[in-house]
Chain A
Amino acid sequence: MKMNPQKTTLPDNPAEIELSGMAPRATGLVQWRRAWASLVRARTPLFGLIVIVCVILVALFAPLLAPHNPENQELRSRLKPPFWVEGSDPNYILGTDALGRDLLSRLIYGARISLLVGFVTAGISGVVGIILGLLAGYFGGLVDSLISRLIDIQLAFPFVLLALTLVAILGGGLLNVILVLGIGGWMAFARIIRVDTLSLKHREFIIAAHCLGVPTHRIILRHILPNVLAPMIVIGSFSVSTNIIYEAALTFLGVGVSAEIPTWGSMLADGRDYLGTGWWISTLPGLAIMVTVIGINFLGDWFRDVLDPRIGFSR
C-alpha cells in the first residue's frame, strides 16, 4: 500500500481519528429512530414489513397453521375450487389440486422452502461477495484484476441458463439449488464492496491505523468492513427476492428442489396440466411468490433510501 505522508495530518486526539474517519453514512440511535419514523410514514415499506413478518410467521408455525397434511391425498375431493368459486368444499378453503391435496396447507409449507432458499442463498452470496470485494478493493493489483474479471464474466452470462446447467449436472435437490444460487450471486455484493473499499482505503483513519502498526487483517475487519456493510442490506434484500424467483423457476422446470417437498415452484408445475379444469392450482402459488417478492422489494427500496441512494437494481 502506497502512502503519502506529507498529505496526512494526524489529529492529536485518537478520538478525533475515529471521528474524522467516520463514513458519511449516518449511524447511531438517532438515525435508526428517524428511519423507523420514515418506515411508518411511507406506506409501501410498512406493507413490505407486514408481508415479510407474516410470511416468516407462517413458515415458522406451518405445522400449527396448516389445516391438513400437505402430502395427504384425498382422491375423492380432487380439483376442488377455492371458497369464492361455486362447488367449493368448506374443508378446503383454497381448494385442492389434481391429487386432492389441500392447497392452503401446501402454500403454507411452501413458504418454508422459499424463505429458506431466499435467505440462505443471499447469506452465502453476501459472505462470498464481501470477502472477494474486500480483497479486491484493499489489495488492488493482480488480486483486483482477477476478481474484477470474474465479476465481468459472471455478469456477462445469462444466470438462468448457467444455474440450470449447473443444477442439472450436479443433480437437483435443496442443497444443490442453494449452493448454485448462493455461490452464483456474489457479484452484486462484491462490486459495491470493492468500490467502497477502494475509496475508504486512502482515508486518514485507515492510514493512521496502518501507521500505528495495526495488522492488515485487523484493519480490514475492524476498520473497513463496518463502514462498507450498510449497502449490503440493500443488495441482500434484492438478492433474497430474486433467488426466491430463481428457485421457483428451477423447481418449475423440474431441475430444482425435489417434487416431493411442497414448494411454490412445484405447485406451479403441478397446475400446468390443469389450466382448464383447475386454474387455481398454479394461480395461487404464483400470487404467493409475487406478494412475498413485492414485500421484500418494498423493504429493500426503503433500505436503499435510508442507507444508500446510489445502488440500483442488480442482476
Chain B
Amino acid sequence: MTRYLVSRLIQSVIAIIGIMVVVFFILRLTGDPVWLMLPPEATQEDYEAMKTFLGMDRPLHEQFLTYMWNAAQGDFGKSLRFRGQSALGLVVERFPATIELATVALLISITFAFPLGIIAAVKRHSIWDNVASILAVIGQAMPNFWLALMFISIFSVQLGILPTSGRSGVKSIILPALTLALFNLARTTRIVRSSMLEVLGEDYVRTARAKGLRERAVVLTHAMRNAMLPVVTLIGLDMGTLLGGAVVTETVFAWPGIGFLAIGSIYVRDFPVVQAVVFFTALFFVVINLIVDVIYSFLDPRIRLG
C-alpha cells in the first residue's frame, strides 16, 4: 500500500511537471510572449521594461530553471492584470467559489441521478427507464454553454426570477449549478443504472429474493450497497470533470471562480495567472485521483493496490 502510494505520488509529480514544461515551452517557442502580453500600442521601451520585468532577457535554460524553481515554491510571478498581486494568490482566492459551484452541482446531480438510475434498473423498459435514456442522450449532446444561455433566456430575461450573473445570495447559484449538473446527471444516472443492473443479476440478490425478502429490502439494502462502489469512485472523479466544465459555465454566468479567472487572464494575456491556474488545477486533479484510489481500496477489500 505504502509502496503503491509512493509510486503514484512520484507519477503525479511527474505529471504536473510535464504539464508545466509543455506550457512553458509552447509559450516561448511560438513567438515572443513579451509582445503577447503587451497592448498593441506599446512602444519599444515598454517592451524592454516588460522583458526585464519577466526575466525574458536571460537565456532560455536559465529562464526555465528559475521558472521551475519558483513554481516549486508556489511562485508564478505577479499578475499583469491585477498589478502586484501574486498569480497563485489570485487563484487560491477564487478557488472557494469554484468549489462551491461544483459541490452544489454535484449534490443536485446525485439527488436526481440515484433514484432515477435505480428505478430505471429495477423497472427495465418502463417509462422511467426511457426517461433515463433520453436524459442520457440529451445530456451527452447538449453543449453546456448553450444550456446556460437558454437558462438565462428563460429564467432571467423572460421570467425575470433569477439573476443572470454574479455571485450574490442563494439565487445566483441556481442557474450555474443546474447547468453544470445536467451533464453530470446524465452520466451518473447511466452508471447507477448499469451498475444496479449488473448487481441485480448476482447470486446473492437471487438468494435474498428466494428467502422471501421484500423487493424493497432486496433493492435498497442488498443490491444498492454493492452497486454503489463504482458509482462512488466515479463521483470522486467527476469533481474533476466539474472543474473543467466550470471553466465555460463560470464564464457565461460571470461566476468569480478560477474558470472565469482563467478566461479573463487568457483574454488579456496575463500568462503568469494562466500558468498558475493550470498548475493549481493539475495539482487538484492529481490529489483527487489519488484520494479516490485510496478510498476505493478501503471500500472494496478485494482490490489490492500495489
Contact = CB atoms under 8 A, between A and B. Distances in A.
Interface of A: 149, 152-153, 156-162, 164-166, 168-171, 241, 245, 248-249, 252-255, 268, 271-272, 275-276, 279, 282-283, 285-286, 289-290, 293-294, 297-298, 313
Interface string B236-269: 0000110111011001100000010011001101
B145 A293 contact: no
Contacts of B23: 165, 169
Given A153-B15, A164-B262, A169-B26, A282 B141 contact: no
Contact of B262 (A159, A161, A248, A294): A161
Q: Main secondary structure on chain B at its contact with chain A?
A: helix
Contacts of A290: 138, 141-143, 146
Nearest to B248: A249
A157 B282 contact: yes
The 5 closest A-B pairs by CB, nearest first: A158-B244, A286-B146, A293-B141, A168-B266, A153-B15
Interface in B2-28: 11, 14-15, 18-19, 23, 26-27
27 contacts: A152-B11, A153-B19, A157-B19, A157-B281, A158-B243, A158-B285, A160-B245, A162-B19, A165-B23, A169-B30, A241-B141, A245-B141, A248-B143, A249-B248, A252-B143, A255-B266, A268-B143, A275-B149, A275-B153, A275-B157, A286-B143, A286-B149, A290-B146, A294-B137, A297-B137, A297-B140, A313-B140
B49 interface: no
Given A157-B281, A158-B241, A158-B243, A170 B30 contact: yes
Nearest to A176: B30
Contact of B145 (A168, A169, A249, A276): A249
Nearest to A166: B26
Contacts of B263: 164, 253
Q: Which residue, of B153, B245, B251, B289, has the highest number of chain A Cβ atoms within 10 A? A: B153
A289 B146 contact: yes
B196 interface: no
A268 B14 contact: no
Contacts of B138: 290, 294
A95 B36 CA distance: 39
Contacts of B156: 275
Contacts of A169: 23, 26-27, 30, 36, 271
Contacts of A297: 137, 140-141
A149 B271 CA distance: 27
Contacts, number: 128
Interface in B190-236: none
A302 B46 CA distance: 59
Contacts of A289: 141, 143, 146
Nearest to A315: B241
B285 A245 contact: no
A171 B251 CA distance: 20
Interface residues of B, number: 51
B149 A268 contact: yes
A171 B252 CA distance: 22
A156 B267 CA distance: 25
B162 interface: no
Which secondary structure dominates where chain A touches chain B? helix
Contacts of B141: 241, 245, 289-290, 293-294, 297
Interface of B: 11, 14-15, 18-19, 23, 26-27, 30-31, 36, 137-138, 140-143, 145-147, 149-150, 152-153, 156-157, 187, 240-241, 243-245, 247-248, 251-252, 259, 262-263, 266-267, 269, 271, 274, 277-278, 281-282, 285-286, 289
Contacts of B140: 293, 297, 313
B27 A282 contact: no
A173 to B, nearest CB: 12
A233 B24 CA distance: 35
Contact of A157 (B14, B247, B274, B285): B285
A208 B6 CA distance: 41
A283 B150 contact: yes
Contact of B15 (A152, A168, A276): A152
Nearest to B147: A286
Contacts of A164: 247, 262-263, 266
A160 B247 contact: yes
B265 to A, nearest CB: 9
B280 to A, nearest CB: 10
A255 B269 CA distance: 12
B143 A149 contact: no
A253 B260 CA distance: 11
B56 to A, nearest CB: 15
B103 to A, nearest CB: 17
Could you say which of A245, A275, A286 has the most chain B C-beta atoms within 10 Å of its C-beta?
A275
Contacts of A282: 146, 149, 153
Contact of B150 (A160, A276, A286, A298): A286
Contacts of B157: 275-276, 279
B278 A162 contact: yes
Contacts of B146: 268, 282, 285-286, 289-290
Most buried by A among B19, B141, B262: B141
B30 A156 contact: no
Given A249-B143, A289-B141, A298-B137, 18 more contacts: A149-B14, A156-B240, A157-B15, A158-B241, A158-B243, A160-B244, A162-B278, A164-B263, A165-B278, A166-B26, A169-B271, A279-B153, A285-B146, A286-B147, A290-B146, A293-B141, A297-B140, A313-B187
A158 B262 CA distance: 13
Contacts of A253: 145, 248, 251, 263
